[in-house]
Amino acid sequence: MRRTSFGRWPCSIARTMDLVGDAWTPLILREVFYGTTRFDDFQRTLGIARNTLADRLHRLLEEDMLTKIRYQEKPERFDYELTGKGRDFFPVLAAMNTWGDKWTTDSAGAPIVLHHETCNRDTHALVVCAECGEPLKNDDVTAKVGPGYPEHLIAHSSAGNRFATDDTVGE
C-alpha cells in the first residue's frame, strides 16, 4: 500500500513527518545518538526486521541524515554515522523524550535520563524562543504565513483565515 507523500506540502511539520514519521526511523536515529552505528547492532537492539531496517537506513542515507563509512571490505560492512543534518535532529528527539517522560512514564520513572556534559547535570529538553529565551508555549505563539507559503493558498478563503499576517499579529 502506498502512503501519501507530504514532502511537497507547504508545512515544515508535514515535510519532516514525510521523512521521519514512521515508527522506526526516529528509533534508528535515537540509537545512532546513543552510539549504535552497525546494521546488526540496530537490528538486535530494536528487534526490527532486516528488510525494514535496510529500507529506513537507505532513506536516511538518501536524505543525508546519515552517511556510510566502510569498516570492513570482505564482506563489505559499514558504520552509519550522523551528518550535520542528522545531528540537527537531536533537539526533536530530546523534546519527544521530555514529553514522553511527562505523559507516558509509569511510577518507576524515566527510562532514560539525558545528562548534559557541559554542566555535568541531568536535564530535559526545553523549547525556548530564539529571540528572548522564554519557553515557547502554545498560548504565547501565533503562526504567521512565511515567505515559502504558496500565494495561491493564501488567497484561498479557508487558508487565508488560518494564519496571522504581519498586520494581524498582536491584535
93-114 confidence digits (pLDDT tens): 999 999 999 999 999 999 999 9
| CA R_g for the chain | 20
Q: Are 9 and 15 in contact (CB under 8 A)?
A: yes
pTM confidence score? 0.84
pLDDT at residue 157 is higher than 50? no
The CATH architecture to which 12-87 belongs is Orthogonal Bundle (1.10)
Q: What is the pLDDT of residues 32-58, one digit of tens each?
A: 999 999 999 999 999 999 999 999 999
pLDDT at 118 over 90: yes
Helix (H), strand (E), coil (C) string for 100-143:
HHHHCCCCCCCCCCEEECCCCEEECCCCECCCCCCECCHHHCCC
Q: How does the average pLDDT of the chain come out, rounded?
A: 90
What percent of the chain has a predicted confidence (pLDDT) above 90? 71
Domains in the chain: boundaries:
12-87
pLDDT of residue 44: 97
